[in-house]
Amino acid sequence: MEIPELIAFDVETTGLKPLEGDRIIELALIRIRDGSVVEKIVTAVNPGINIPPEVCSIHGITDDMVKDAPPFRDIAGKIADFIRGKTLLIHNADFDISFLKKEFELCGMSCPEVKVIDTLAIAKNSFRFPGNSLSRIAVHYKIDTEGLHRAEADAMTTYMIYRRFCEELSRKERN
């Protein structure tokens, strides 16, 4: 079911484990109302730690690219206001939300209450793709994958996939 307003969300990080010190280095929050982007926050984030070379090779974000970016604590209030009470659309929500919660915790704040739609869960529960990664599903739907593994591109790709899911599930319901 399509939601009239939601926020497509994605993060890029220094690694896979927020509980072991990995941090957000880029995030995208894209507010979409009735199919149109109406507002967004897309920013690099200074993690205060080095980005491992093996991680740089995945998303292409280097220490140099984040050295002058704001630390999360400087944008936490703005992010909290942007998402509070909203519906976040995320591919692999457990990953992104775990990082978001950890960053708020490090600032002495609670992560605002949000609703979450996880396109990974929809893919696993309602479809049979050869793989459920964002890029594999995008390729299946012939959605441009240029720029993937960067927060803004991943967030927008998640939204495009969600729209396709809604169309297909609606069609299945009618038949």
Say whether 33 sits in a helix, a strand or coil: strand
Q: Which two tokens stand for residue 132?
A: 């459920």
Asked if 170 contacts 143 with a C-beta cutoff of 8 angstroms, the reply is no
AA identity, residue 90 = I
DSSP 18: G
The closest of 36, 43, 34, 32 to 10, measured between CA atoms, is 43
Write the CB contacts of 86 (distance below 8 Å, at least 6 apart in sequence). Answer: 5, 6, 7, 31, 114, 115
Q: Which of 59, 91, 140, 149 is catalytic?
A: 149
Annotated catalytic, 149?
A: yes
Give the residue numbers marked as catalytic: 149
